[in-house]
Amino acid sequence: MTLSIMIDPGHGGSDPGARGYGLQEKDIVLEIALQTERLLQAYIVSIQLTRRDDVNVLIPTRTARANQMGADLYVSIHVNAGRGTGFESFVHPAASPRTVDIQWRIHREMGLFYASNGFVDRGRKTANFAVLRQTKMPAVLLENLFIDHPRDSAYLKDPLFRSEIAQMLALSIANTLQLPQRQPAWDPALEIERLRQTGLVVNLYHPNDTLLWGQYATVLNRVRNRPVFGSGWDPEREIGLLLEDGLLASPRLPAQPVRWGEFATVLNRLRQRWVEVPGWDPRAEIGLLISDGLLVTSRDPWATISWGEFATVLNRYLNI
Ligand SMILES: [Zn+2]
């Protein structure tokens, strides 16, 4: 089940929040909230914001939205004022043990981040704030430095530091809720391009081009530093080297398409991974690629392999 989070940048519109040294709390917290949302898109999680613009949304409206969406976590982002310095966090005095635990985890990472920049960790606190009282889910309010302190505000003025706050916040939320990472969208053309940048592949291929034996043998021989000597490309000789070194059991023609079962078998031999069954079991060979994280879903052993698929599996193996 996908978790959902309500991120609440405090104040907005006619309510600027705290002010100091030319800064307004409402602007800083909105920027941090939007960046945090963007960074959390790397994870499987549903994010909503109580405001996305410079508008004043009433507190009961903010908390009611979070309650309606059944959010699993409410994170209210603020900047402090009142002649102090440093970072502190709040939960409601009657917060559940789970909420206190979430505060502890988020606070620990944020507190370390601020401490590493020379700021005081003012500690984990409780307060009867409306956003903490009216929300039905675990709710944490963060006070990120003091806008009216010269050193704090100098840091808050720095866009790079504000973006570091967002990075730490996104990371601490992801770690606290143990959010699974989203798999990046598959881009087979980019996979082939990456392989070309390493020099293992020289020519241009379309992701849908079928991988041929002469091509496969050549790339594998480059991977294992087994160059064919002589002038020009000799795909028959490349296949011959695979035979000589025991990576391939019987000859193939250079223009023959490579099938998934054969592809997996030769690659497994190259990376010295052996299927624990007697005889040749192409399904088990493909299974070995899956169990080692080189392939995500199963393939028909007799289906031909495309250049896009080949490049992706090889990049995973080579960590490219
Ligand atoms: Zn505030």
Three-class DSSP category at 317: helix
Residues 320/194, Cβ–Cβ less than 8 Å: yes
Q: How far is the CA of 81 from the centre of ligand 1 (A)?
A: 8
DSSP code of residue 129: -
Is residue 143 part of the annotated active site? The answer reads: yes
Question: Whole-angstrom Cα distance, residue 19 to residue 23?
Answer: 6
Q: What would the pLDDT profile of 274-298 be if each residue is shown by its tens digit?
A: 988 788 999 999 999 998 889 988 8
Q: What would the pLDDT profile of 179-213 be if each residue is shown by its tens digit?
A: 998 877 789 999 999 999 999 999 999 999 999 99
DSSP code of residue 185: P
Residues 169/142, Cβ–Cβ less than 8 Å: yes
Which residue among the candidates 143, 191, 238, 309 is catalytic per the annotation? 143
DSSP code of residue 158: -
* CATH fold of the domain at 4-177: Aminopeptidase (3.40.630)
Q: Would you mind telling me the total number of residues written for the chain in this entry? A: 320
Token pair in block for residue 279: 């005889």
Could you tell me the pLDDT band of residue 227, with boundaries at 50, 70 and 90? confident
Q: How far is the CA of 141 from the centre of ligand 1 (A)?
A: 9
Looking at the whole model, is its pTM more than 0.85? Answer: no
Question: Whole-angstrom Cα distance, residue 220 to residue 238?
Answer: 9
Question: Whole-angstrom Cα distance, residue 169 to residue 128?
Answer: 23
Q: How far is the CA of 3 from the centre of ligand 1 (A)?
A: 26
Higher pLDDT, 181 or 308: 308
Token pair in block for residue 243: 């035979």
Token pair in block for residue 293: 């994280």
Q: How far is the CA of 225 from the centre of ligand 1 (A)?
A: 61
Q: How far is the CA of 179 from the centre of ligand 1 (A)?
A: 27
Q: How far is the CA of 94 from the centre of ligand 1 (A)?
A: 21
Mean pLDDT of the chain: 95
- DSSP H helix total and E strand total for the chain: 12, 8
What pLDDT sits at residue 273? Answer: 92
| Residues 11, 117, 144: CA angle, nearest 5 degrees | 15
The neighbour count for residue 229, using CB atoms within 10 Å, is 6
Domain ranges of the chain: 4-177, 188-318
Higher pLDDT, 3 or 186: 3
Could you tell me the pLDDT band of residue 230, with boundaries at 50, 70 and 90? confident
DSSP code of residue 186: P
Question: Whole-angstrom Cα distance, residue 32 to residue 9?
Answer: 8
Residues in the 5 Å CB sphere of ion ligand 1: 10, 17, 78
Could you tell me the pLDDT band of residue 12, with boundaries at 50, 70 and 90? very high
Pairing mode, strands 73-80 and 23-24: unpaired
Q: How far is the CA of 193 from the centre of ligand 1 (A)?
A: 48
Q: Could you tell me where the DSSP H helices lie in 12-58?
A: 25-40
